[in-house]
Structure 1
């Protein structure tokens, strides 16, 4: 599955560097925020701030890069589509 990443600032109160994740139909499926290098839990990682549709749920993982985030989102979409 193909996704588009579109940079955006996110008003989290801390880390603002973000990206919107759009599916092949240009629908918003997730918002990721890059945690600052000063973050104590996962410095420099990408955090799933919000998921929509098939990505919505209790899990808010972090990813070391956007490729891994894309893989995780793709697996969630594929898994939910097959159910």
Structure 2
């Protein structure tokens, strides 16, 4: 995921067959303020909102 022309996170869809989930997403890697973070999300929209809240605010 990109924010202000910087890569801030890599989101991947969790493998349904391996992990018995459907449509869930995982914060695979975070950069900057998200470095070291790993988290599961029910939807891609939830993941995007969370990443947006935990990175730099948009410029005014």
Both structures adopt the same fold (TM-score exceeding 0.5): yes
Matched, 1:67 2:50: no
Q: Highest relative contact order (Cα 8 Å, sep 6+), 1 or 2?
A: 2
| Structure 1 residue aligned with 2:35 | 56
Consecutive aligned runs of 4 or more in structure 1 exceeding 4 Å deviation: none
Aligned length: 56
Question: Which structure 2 residue ranges, 5 or more long, are not aligned?
Answer: none
Q: TM-score, normalised by structure 2?
A: 0.76
Stretches of structure 1 that go unaligned for 5 or more consecutive residues are: 1-20
Q: Which has the higher strand share?
A: 1
Give the TM-score normalised by structure 1: 0.58
CA RMSD of aligned residues (A): 1.9
More helix by share: 2
